[in-house]
């Protein structure tokens, strides 16, 4: 019995719920939103969908107690109206930090002991707060983090060289925000180092890094929200937990040397973060990671 909870039914949460139902991933789906009317609307839209699917999903609305035996909770709450077109995901910080206090206590009271995947922004800060306040182990809590930004890097590089982005490997690390960076030393195209390809093709890696960083704002400027790519990231991580896939990917994970969550390579399975995949970075890349961690730490400090 695969049971999943989604807390926050905005554009992202609703897209996740729709995908979980239409792909038959969840046998039971708990839907929760602070707006009761929105929760009911999403519930019945999904119930009407089930009649035309080959699978059935039991939908449980607005019931935190039902999360007790859930395998995964996905948190996607937020206040998108607080985000400005300046590239700063910290626009939601104060609002979401207050929501954490309420949501975390309710999750804790439910007795939930599965894996929590956070999407809510600023992702690394909110993931840190959720883990602290719910009291789950650091392995049981993770954020989507730079999993999405890495996909945007793959898209940017793929477009530049007319290559399927799935053939591009490597990591974007650090904050899911403006201090993120592409660790080019980790990036390969069908097994060839990006430096080799860049030299042959005349690629500007700094420009490609910028395209990856600004990818979300390109979407946001036209739609005033993003949903498909981040929902896909959350679904892939959820499947990795449900199937104990030991998926190697960058997520927002807890690093002891920083004492908070940050985008870094990890391995995801049934218990959550199976391991933090330590990698060798260049001196310049390590400095960028340290700087990004400092940005996250400073924002956490403003909440104390």
Structural class in CATH, domain 3-143: alpha beta
Residue ranges with strand state E in 88-200: 115-118, 141-143, 168-173, 181-189, 192-193
Domains 3-143 and 146-301 equal at CATH topology level? no
Sorted by where each begins, the domain ranges of the chain are: 3-143, 146-301
Q: What is the pLDDT of residue 304?
A: 67
* Dihedral-angle region of residue 235 (phi above 0 means left; psi in -120 to 50 means alpha; beta otherwise): alpha
- In which band, very low, low, confident or very high, does the pLDDT at 218 lie, cut at 50, 70 and 90? confident
Classify domain 146-301 at the CATH class level: alpha beta
**Tens-digit pLDDT profile for residues 101-155:** 999 999 999 999 999 999 999 999 999 999 999 999 999 999 999 999 999 999 9
- List, as residue ranges, the binding site: 8-13, 33, 96, 119-121
CB 239 within 8 A of CB 24: no
Of 226, 249, 23, the residue nearest 117 (C-alpha): 249
Q: Specify the higher pLDDT residue, 304 or 170.
A: 170
Q: How confident is the model at residue 85 (pLDDT cuts 50, 70, 90)?
A: low
Q: What is the pLDDT of residues 248-298, one digit of tens each?
A: 999 999 999 999 999 999 999 999 999 999 999 999 999 999 999 999 999
Token pair for 255: 């690093």
| 176 given a catalytic annotation | yes
Q: Give the C-alpha separation, 285 to 49, whole Å.
A: 47
Question: Considering 176, 192, 224, 260, which one is annotated as catalytic?
Answer: 176
Residues, the chain, total? Answer: 304
């Amino acid at each position: 019995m695969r049971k999943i909870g989604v807390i926050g039914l905005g554009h992202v949460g609703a897209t996740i719920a729709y995908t979980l139902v239409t792909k038959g991933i969840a046998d039971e789906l708990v839907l929760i939103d602070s707006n009761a009317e929105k929760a009911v609307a999403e519930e019945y839209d999904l119930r009407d969908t089930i009649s035309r699917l080959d699978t059935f999903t039991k939908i449980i609305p607005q019931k935190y107690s039902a999360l007790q035996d859930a395998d995964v909770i996905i948190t996607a709450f937020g206040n998108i109206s607080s985000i400005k077109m300046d590239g700063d995901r910290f626009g939601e910080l104060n609002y979401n930090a207050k929501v954490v206090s309420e949501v975390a206590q309710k999750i804790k009271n439910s007795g939930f002991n599965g894996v929590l995947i956070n999407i809510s922004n600023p992702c690394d800060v909110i993931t840190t707060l959720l883990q602290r306040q719910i009291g789950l182990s650091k392995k049981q809590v993770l954020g989507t983090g730079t999993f999405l930004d890495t996909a945007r890097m793959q898209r940017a590089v793929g477009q530049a060289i007319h290559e399927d982005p799935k053939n591009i490997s490597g990591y974007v690390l650090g904050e899911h925000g403006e201090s993120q960076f592409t660790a080019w030393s980790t990036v390969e195209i069908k097994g060839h180092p990006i430096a080799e390809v860049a030299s042959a093709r005349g690629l500007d890696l700094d420009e490609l890094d910028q395209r990856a960083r600004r990818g979300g704002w390109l979407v946001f400027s036209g739609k005033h929200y993003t949903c498909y790519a981040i929902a896909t990231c959350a679904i892939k991580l959820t499947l990795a937990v449900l199937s104990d896939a030991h998926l190697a990917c960058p997520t927002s994970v807890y690093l002891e040397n920083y004492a908070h969550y940050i985008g870094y390579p990890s391995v995801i399975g049934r218990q959550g973060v199976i391991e933090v995949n330590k990698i060798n970075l260049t001196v310049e890349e390590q400095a960028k990671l340290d700087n990004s961690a400092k940005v996250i730490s400073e924002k956490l400090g403003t909440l104390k």
